Structure formats: structure tokens, C-alpha cells
Copies of this chain bind each other. A is one copy, B any other.
Amino acid sequence: MEKPSIIFRTVCPDRPGLVSQLTSWISNYGGNIKHSDHHTDQDAGLFLSRIEWNINDFPIKKVEIYEQFEKIAFDLNGQFNINYSDEIPNVAIFVSKQNHCLIDLLWRVRNGELKMNVPLIISNHPDLENIARDFDAQFIYIDTLNYSKSTVENQILNLLKDFNIKLVVLAKYMQILSESFLEKYSSIINIHHSFLPAFKGAQPYHRAWKRGVKLIGATAHYVTQDLDEGPIIEQCTVNVSHRDEVGDLIRKGRDIERIALARAVRLHLNHQIFVYESKTAVFD
């Protein structure tokens, strides 16, 4: 339906003329810009730019586009990404026993809301195999009890390579990935069931209930080596009261976990997120 587009993103030191330089390059080739957003982080002295234009009729081939932007980015002393909205990435979803985030993501894929393929679902429990089958994904059970973390993680890394996985989504995966793993694979989104940085770590709902908070939260973030310290993409909250037991917090939390995670994955797939200085800028 929607016409495919090229999406260019850069983060570079701020200086005059950047928007003009970038957009001129596109318009010189007759490209019709659909979205063009720019932000200057005054504190960091950085310029963030995201430009999206129609791929149809654009006379330059993908390889050339890359080469030319590589030159431009080199001149700008910046980092850049080029993506194409018609390249649908393979995404692996990691789960444990809870199914709500998994089902929600797969349903959104099927309904066309999330443009991704999910060929692979990995779990440290066998419980959710049926769901994988319903959605034509391969379900791999990894035995984290009888095998060492490094053995298991090597198995996972091989799977990610075999399935050409561009993004991993931790949809209530209750294992911690090692530093060594994260050095080798780092495009990972996690959902944490608290309003970070409150209640980092284990059992956030129990601790929120004990603390007597009046709102609980869910946080979708990129995974880094510092647990629950990765760049935050999306946060949602919901009211709770003294009438809510821990079980009610868990129940209410499922709804905001699903929504925060789905939004974050969608923003990632649409290339709307910039990560820098342990934070995100989300152009929506």
C-alpha cells in the first residue's frame, strides 16, 4: 500500500549547513522527501537527522547510495545508517514461561502492524512451543540447567547467524545474557516490568507492592552490559491502589508490558530510534 522508502539517519557534530547539505544531495537526484526530522542536542553538541524519501524513481542504486553517504558521513565526522522500508528483517523472540508479550507481538506481525518475520523463537522452557507452531516459527528449547552459560550462548549465537537474525526481542525472557554474548550480538530489545530506574532487577512487582506505589510501569529498552541500564525506548504506567494485590499488579502490568514492548519494536523496525550517550532519541 504505502510506497517503499529509503531511510537515512546520522548523528554527527553540529555545524551550520547540515540539513541543506543532506537534503540537497537527495533533491539533486529528484528524490521526494516524505519525512525530514532533525534535532540538535545542545548539551552534547550533536546533530541528529532522519530523512525518508521514496525509493521509486530514485535513480541511484543501493550500493551507490551507501558509498555516497559514506563519503558524506566521513566529511561530517558522523555515524550513519541507511535502511529500506521494503527490507523486512528476521527477528528472533526469546521467552521463558509467560506468553502474553509473545502472542501480542506475533498477532501484530500477522495483522501487518509490525513489519518483521519471526522465524525463530528461543526459550529456556518448553511451555510455549505450541504458540511457535501456530505462527510457523521454529521453537528452540535451550537447556540452561544442564549446560553452561557459554555453551548455551554459543548455541544461541549460531542460531542467530543461521536464521540471519537482525533483532532479538526479549519478551519476558528471564535469563541474563553475558557480557561476552553482548559483545558478539547487541541488537536486542528487552521489556522490564518496572518504571526504570525504579525497581531494577528481580521481582519488581513484588517490590512495588511492598513500597506502596500508586502507579506501576513497564520499560522497553535496548540491552547493554549494565543490567536494566540500557537506553530507554518507551515507558508506560498504570494506576494501582491498596486494593491491588501483587497478583493484580502482575495482571495490570501485562497490559502495559505488551504495549510498551510493541511500540518499541515498531519504532525500531521503522528506524525511528537514535541511540547515543546511553539514551535514545525517538523521532515519531
Contact = CB atoms under 8 A, between A and B. Distances in A.
Interface string A186-229: 00000000011111000000000011111101000000000000
A55 B6 CA distance: 33
A213 B242 contact: no
A232 B28 CA distance: 38
A41 interface: yes
Interface stretch (A29-37, A72-80, A145-153): A29-37
Given A23-B20, A35-B40, A213 B232 contact: yes
A160 to B, nearest CB: 27
Interface in A219-275: 231-235, 237, 241-243, 245, 251, 255, 259, 274
A278 interface: yes
A231 B211 CA distance: 8
Contacts of A212: 231-232, 278-280
Given A20-B24, A278-B212, A251 B35 contact: no
Contact of A134 (B21, B43, B134): B134
A42 interface: yes
A59 interface: no
A19 interface: yes
B199 A197 contact: yes
A34 B24 contact: no
A280 B209 CA distance: 11
Contact of A243 (B16, B26, B134, B284): B284
Contacts of A281: 241-242
A17 interface: yes
Contact of A36 (B19, B214, B251): B19
A37 to B, nearest CB: 6
A157 interface: no
Nearest to A256: B259
27 contacts: A14-B32, A16-B27, A16-B30, A16-B31, A16-B32, A18-B33, A19-B23, A20-B23, A20-B26, A33-B38, A35-B38, A35-B40, A36-B36, A43-B245, A99-B107, A103-B107, A134-B134, A195-B198, A195-B215, A197-B213, A210-B279, A212-B279, A212-B280, A214-B232, A241-B281, A241-B282, A242-B279
